[in-house]
Amino acid sequence: MIYPRDGASAVRRSITRSLAQSRPRTLGQACTAGKLLARPLSTPSEHTPTPTPTTQSTSTSSSTPPPPPPPQSPQLSRWRRFLQSLGRVTLVTILASGGAFYYVTQRERHPGTQLPFDPSKKTVVVLGSGWGSTSFIKNLDMSEYNVIVVSPRNFFLFTPLLPSVAVGTIDSKSILTPIRYVTRHKPRQVVVIEADAKSVDPVAKTVTLADETEVQGAVSTTTINYDYLVYAVGAETQTFGIPGVKEHACFMKEIQDAETMRRRFMDCVESAGFPGQSPEEIDRLLHMVVVGGGPTGVEVSGEIHDFLEDDLKSWYPELAEHIKITLVEALPSVLPMFSKSLIEYTESTFKESKIDVLTKTMVKEVKPKSVVLQMPDKSIKEVPVGMVVWAGGNKPRDISVDLMKKMSEAQTNRRGISVDECLRMQGTDGSIFALGDCTASSYAPTAQVAAQQGAYLARAFGQMAHRDRITAELAAAQTAGDNEQAQTLQKQLSRYDRLRPFHYSHQGSLAYIGSDRAIADIMFFNFTIASSGVATYLFWRSAYISTLFSLRNRVLVANDWLKTRIFGRDLARD
Ligand SMILES: Cc1cc2nc3c(=O)[nH]c(=O)nc-3n(C[C@H](O)[C@H](O)[C@H](O)COP(=O)(O)OP(=O)(O)OC[C@H]3O[C@@H](n4cnc5c(N)ncnc54)[C@H](O)[C@@H]3O)c2cc1C
C-alpha cells in the first residue's frame, strides 16, 4: 500500500500505535486457533495493557482498514484428540515404569545395613546355593537365627535355561545370581563361605569345609558348628558306571558344562571344515548324540537343532547338511513324565526336524570318536560321533554317601538321603534337614520340589523359633512358680510343638522342544491340561522370565533372546 508523502510520519505513528495495541489480540487469536498450543501462554498482566473494545475501534477506524474477522477456531478432530490423549498416557506410562524400574534396580543394588550376628541366637548352617537352599534363605525370618551359607559356587544357577546357554542362545552370566545378592538383602548378616563341605559330624554338630578354588589363602580348611544343618547339596550326574562317559561325554548340570559343550560343538564344526577332511570324517565330527530322553536331553536336542537352522546354515552352508542329531533313550519313549499326546507331539516334531530318536536303546560305552549302543533287538552297534552329551539321571554326592554311612541303620536308600514328612533326616536328633535332589523321596528331582521344600522349611524354622521362645518362657514361669502363666504357655506350646508335614503342590511341567515350539502339562485345579506348539512356547518363555531370580536376570535373559532373534547366535569359540 502506498501512503501520501505529507502524511507519512503521522501514518507511521498511527501504524506503530495500532500494531502495539493489536498484538495481544493477535496472540490471543493465534492461540485460540490452536497454532501456539505447545507454548505456555503468559498471563494477560504480563503483556502491554489489553486494549478495550472502545480504544481498539477508535484506533483502527482512524487510520487503518478494519482487521479481517478472526478465523473460526477449527474443532480438534476426534482422531487428533485421541492421539493427544494416547501420547500423554504413553508418556506418563514410560515415565512411571522408568521410575519404577530405576527404583527397583537401585534398591537391589544398594542393600541397607544389617543386624549383626547375635550370639544368643541359634546358628543354621546351609549347605548349597541351589534351588532348595536359596529358597530357604529367601523365605527365612532371620530375626531368630544366625545363618552361614557354604557352597563351592558363590552363585545360584537357574538350571532350566542351561540348555539355551549350551548353544549360545543365552549368555551364561544372564542365568546366574550371586548368592550375596540374596543374603545382603536379609535383615541380619549372613556369612557366605565359598567352599566344599567335606564332612558332617552329626554327633558333634560340625561341618568341615575346604576351599578348593585355584587361589587359596593361608587358611583353606576349617570346621564350623551348627545348631541346625540345612543340607541341600544337590546330586551328581549318574553315569551308571558306563565306561568312557566321564572321560569323553559332556554333562549338562553346571554352568561350566554348558560352556564346555558349546566350545566342543564349535570345535567339531570348525574341525569338520578343515581342508582335506574326508566325507566320512565330516559326518562323524558333525554327529551329535544326546543321551537321556528326559526334559534336559530333549531341550538340548531342540536347541542344537535351532542353532543349526538359524545360524549354521547361514555361516557354514557347506557343512550344515552333514549335521545329524540323535537322541538316545533306554525307556520305550522320551519324556515319560508328560501326557501321551505331548510325547507323540514331541516325537513327530523331532521327526520333522530330522532329529533321530532311538528309544529302547542303551549306551554301553563312550569312546573318543564313537559310542557303542545296544539296540532294541540287543544287537551292538558302534556309531561314529563328534560329541556326546550325557543328560542322565542323578546319584548322591560323595559327602551325602559318607553322611548316610554314619547313620547306616536309618539310611538305607541308595538313591539319596531318607527324610521324614517334615524333611528331618532319618536317624538324627532332628537337627539335620535335607531337601531337594540329595534326598530320596517320592517326588521327582525338580527345581519345583526343591524350591517348595525350601520355602516350607523356612516356615517350619519360624515355627520352631516360636516353640523355643515359649519353651524358655515356660521354664522361667515354672521356676518363678507362676502356675497361671505356665498353663497359658503350655497351651501355646502345644500349638507350635508339632510341625506340619510338607505337601508338594505340582504346578505342571514344561519343556522346550526346538523350532519355536514347547510342550506343557499345566495343572488346573485337579485337571491336567496338555498344551503344545508356538503359543505354548510363548507361555514357556513368559513362565521362565517370571520365575527368574531377579529383575537383573529377567532383563538380561529378555535382552539375550532379542539379541539372538536379531543378530543370531555368536559363533566365536572362546
Ligand atoms: C539342565 C537342567 C535343566 C533342568 N530343568 C528343570 C526344569 O525345567 N524344571 C524343574 O523343575 N527342574 C529342572 N531341573 C532340575 C533342577 O535343577 C534340580 O532339581 C534342582 O536344581 C535341585 O535343587 P537342589 O537345591 O536340590 O540342588 P542344586 O540346585 O543342584 O544345588 C546344589 C547346591 O549344592 C552345592 N554343593 C555341591 N556340593 C557341595 C558341597 N560339598 N558342599 C556344599 N555345597 C555343595 C552346589 O554348588 C549347589 O549350589 C533341571 C536340571 C538341569 C540340570
Asked if pLDDT for residue 361 goes beyond 70, the answer is yes
pLDDT number for residue 75: 64
Which residue, by CA, sits nearest to atom 52 of ligand 1?
Answer: 159
Task: Report the separation in Å between the CA atom of 147 and the middle of ligand 1, taken as the mean of its atom positions.
Answer: 21
Q: Do the domains 122-235+396-455 and 245-395+507-567 sit in the same CATH topology, yes or no?
A: yes
pLDDT number for residue 110: 86
β-pairing, 236-237 vs 394-395, is: antiparallel
Strands (E), 276-426: 287-291, 324-328, 355-358, 362-366, 370-374, 380-384, 387-390, 394-395
Task: Report the separation in Å between the CA atom of 285 and the middle of ligand 1, taken as the mean of its atom positions.
Answer: 31
pLDDT number for residue 24: 41
Which residue, by CA, sits nearest to atom 38 of ligand 1?
Answer: 233
Phi, psi of 147 (to 5 degrees): -125, 135
According to CATH, what is the number of the domain 122-235+396-455? 3.50.50.100
- Chain length of the chain: 574
In this prediction the pTM is 0.84
Which residue, by CA, sits nearest to atom 39 of ligand 1?
Answer: 233
Burial 254-288 (b: 16+ CB within 10 A, else e): bbebbbebbebbbebbeebeeeeeeeebbbbbbbb
Probe ligand 1: pick from 437, 504, 544, 547, max atoms within 8 Å of CB? 437
Among 59-63, 72-76, 94-98, 480-484, whose mean pLDDT is lowest?
59-63
Categorize the per-residue pLDDT at 44 as very low, low, confident or very high, splitting at 50, 70 and 90.
very low
Helices assigned H by DSSP within 438-533: 447-480, 483-497
Task: Report the separation in Å between the CA atom of 570 and the middle of ligand 1, taken as the mean of its atom positions.
Answer: 27
d(C-alpha 553, C-alpha 540), whole Å: 16
Which one is the CATH code of 245-395+507-567: 3.30.450.20, 3.50.50.100, 1.10.3720.10, 3.30.1330.60?
A: 3.50.50.100
Task: Report the separation in Å between the CA atom of 254 and the middle of ligand 1, taken as the mean of its atom positions.
Answer: 8
What is the position in ligand 1's atom list of the atom closest to the CA of 234? 27
pLDDT number for residue 21: 44
Q: Which residue's C-alpha cell is 538350571? A: 159
Mean pLDDT over residues 169-177, rounded? 96
pLDDT number for residue 77: 85
Task: Report the separation in Å between the CA atom of 208 and the middle of ligand 1, taken as the mean of its atom positions.
Answer: 22
Contact 262, 165 (CB under 8 A): yes
Residues 6+ apart with CB under 8 A from 425: 231, 407, 411, 417, 418, 419, 432, 433, 434
Task: Report the separation in Å between the CA atom of 404 and the middle of ligand 1, taken as the mean of its atom positions.
Answer: 20
What is the position in ligand 1's atom list of the atom closest to the CA of 445? 19
pLDDT greater at residue 147 or residue 528: 147
Probe ligand 1: pick from 208, 446, 457, 506, max atoms within 8 Å of CB? 446
Asked if pLDDT for residue 262 goes beyond 80, the answer is yes
Categorize the per-residue pLDDT at 161 as very low, low, confident or very high, splitting at 50, 70 and 90.
very high
What is the position in ligand 1's atom list of the atom closest to the CA of 198? 41
Mean pLDDT over residues 477-484, rounded? 90
pLDDT number for residue 73: 59
Cβ count within 10 A of residue 514: 26
Task: Report the separation in Å between the CA atom of 245 and the middle of ligand 1, taken as the mean of its atom positions.
Answer: 20
DSSP state letter for 310: I
Burial 90-126 (b: 16+ CB within 10 A, else e): eeeeeeeeeeeeeeeeeeeeeeeeeeeeeeebbbbbb
Task: Report the separation in Å between the CA atom of 157 and the middle of ligand 1, taken as the mean of its atom positions.
Answer: 8
For the CA atoms of the chain, what is the radius of gyration?
36
Asked if pLDDT for residue 6 goes beyond 60, the answer is no
Percent of the chain with pLDDT over 70: 88
Asked if pLDDT for residue 39 goes beyond 50, the answer is no
pLDDT number for residue 147: 97
Closest CA to 553 of 132, 171, 295: 171
Which residue, by CA, sits nearest to atom 4 of ligand 1?
Answer: 160
Task: Report the separation in Å between the CA atom of 436 and the middle of ligand 1, taken as the mean of its atom positions.
Answer: 8
Mean pLDDT over residues 153-170, rounded? 96
pLDDT number for residue 74: 59
Task: Report the separation in Å between the CA atom of 131 and the middle of ligand 1, taken as the mean of its atom positions.
Answer: 6
pLDDT number for residue 519: 97
The mean pLDDT of the chain is 88
Cell of 480: 518363678
Closest CA to 347 of 194, 519, 187, 223: 519
- Annotate 146-209 with DSSP letters as a single string: EEEEEESSSEEE-GGGHHHHHTTSS-GGGGEEEHHHHHTTSSB-EEEEESEEEEEETTTTEEEE
Model pLDDT for residues 270-290, shown as the tens digit of each residue? 999 999 999 999 999 999 999
Residues 6+ apart with CB under 8 A from 534: 516, 517
Model pLDDT for residues 386-398, shown as the tens digit of each residue? 999 999 889 999 9
What is the position in ligand 1's atom list of the atom closest to the CA of 450? 23
Contact 532, 342 (CB under 8 A): yes
Task: Report the separation in Å between the CA atom of 235 and the middle of ligand 1, taken as the mean of its atom positions.
Answer: 7
Contact 504, 449 (CB under 8 A): yes
Asked if pLDDT for residue 41 goes beyond 70, the answer is no
Model pLDDT for residues 289-328, shown as the tens digit of each residue? 999 999 999 999 999 999 999 999 999 999 999 999 999 9
| Pocket around ligand 1 at a 6 A CB cut-off | 127-133, 150-153, 159-160, 162-163, 196-197, 232-234, 252-253, 295-296, 397, 399, 436-438, 445-448, 450
The residue ranges of every structural domain in the chain are 5-63, 79-109, 122-235+396-455, 245-395+507-567
d(C-alpha 391, C-alpha 290), whole Å: 7
